[in-house]
Homo-oligomer: A and B are copies of this chain.
Amino acid sequence: MNHIGRLFQINIYGESHGGGVGILLDGVKPGIPLTEEDFLLDLSRRKAGGLGTTPRIEADEVHIISGVFNGYTTGAPILLSFVNTNTKSKDYSNLIDQPRPSHADYTAHIKYDGYNDYRGGGHFSGRLTLGLVSAGVVAKKMLKGVTFHTSLTNLNGCEDQSKFQSILKEAVENKDSVGGIVTLTATGLPVGLGEPYFDSLESTIAHLMFSVGGVKGIEFGIGFDGVGLKGSEFNDKIIDSKGTTLSNNNGGINGGISNGNPIVVKVFVKPTPSIGLKQETYNFRDDKVKSLEIEGRHDAAIILRAMVVLEACLAIALCDANLIRNAYKK
């Protein structure tokens, strides 16, 4: 549901065109310095405005409503709230008559008996990731000594980053969209994070990441590309007393537990489903396939904005795993 985490817990809320969006954090260690400025960097990484992103530019200003006192976390729940300001009152009811392909329009309509707030995707809007990014900021603060590196390693099938701008430009011009692969790395983690059997580190990281709209594939280490390797090639041989491995095909995780090497995750984010191009899809009111043209401008590549969101998911999962690990230390 809209809650996740064993000790570091997050609860997400909001809709694209309602009162606002945000996240409620629990299990935050008291005594961590935290101000609204701390969120600026990661929120700006998620911001719209660049090539391939929507022009809907909101202040995206976080408000710390609770859980912080005199500049420090108190140990009580932290409500991080974003007010919606740029919500045009246009008519979205056509989304019910003719749901956008590959969107949640149809499934949400059925699941919630037609009562879901469908405006701009409602609770399924990418706008909710503001909360995730904010939770990630706090999680990173709780993970001392851990470094995150996140990069776009594939765009529309191309792995040459010098060509990404032209791919985006072409997609925008064609009113189409593109997907890609984000590669995330977390270094500096101790051995021992992850709780088998079911809360393997892969499980908890994937659980969070697969909740982000558009994510359709997750792999650790070499991932699917390792399918052609033999065991003798795939195995990561240990080379020193700290557990350092020669290769890192397992992505820093063995038996669901961190092994001290960098955690490596690759995430496939599908092309933005909202495109300006005409699509032939079913119109429920007219009971036939009709042409659909989605108005307005859209992210040609949501993956650009998803990068920092996925990094936040990784940090959140690791933060929770680290707290659990702490509980069992001598």
Contact = CB atoms under 8 A, between A and B. Distances in A.
A117 B74 contact: yes
A226 B179 contact: yes
A90 B215 CA distance: 46
Contact of A206 (B203, B213, B232): B203
A200 interface: yes
Interface string A246-269: 000111001111110000000010
Nearest to A201: B210
A133 interface: no
B227 A74 contact: no
Contact of A224 (B31, B77, B113, B219): B219
Contact of A255 (B104, B176, B271, B329): B104
A231 B181 CA distance: 15
A204 B20 CA distance: 27
B200 A211 contact: yes
Interface in A10-42: 11-15, 18-22, 24, 26-27, 29-31
Given A107-B257, A326-B328, A112 B66 contact: no
A121 to B, nearest CB: 8
A142 B137 CA distance: 34
A289 B237 CA distance: 9
B275 A235 contact: yes
B228 A157 contact: yes
A203 B218 CA distance: 11
Contacts of A128: 197
A99 B234 contact: no
Given A177-B231, A197-B128, A223-B268, A19 B282 contact: no
Interface in A166-199: 171, 174, 176-181, 191-192, 194-199
A36 to B, nearest CB: 12
Nearest to A104: B255
Given A115-B74, A327-B323, A220 B217 contact: yes
Interface stretch (A1-9, A43-51, A54-62, A304-312): A1-9
A165 interface: no
Contacts of A116: 30, 69, 74-76
Given A11-B3, A196-B2, A240-B282, A227 B180 contact: yes
Top 8 closest A-B pairs, CB basis? Answer: A104-B255, A157-B228, A177-B231, A217-B219, A231-B271, A107-B257, A69-B117, A327-B327
Given A31-B113, A107-B257, A157-B227, 16 more contacts: A3-B26, A3-B198, A18-B67, A66-B123, A69-B115, A74-B123, A76-B112, A107-B192, A108-B255, A110-B192, A199-B211, A216-B251, A234-B273, A238-B282, A250-B270, A323-B328
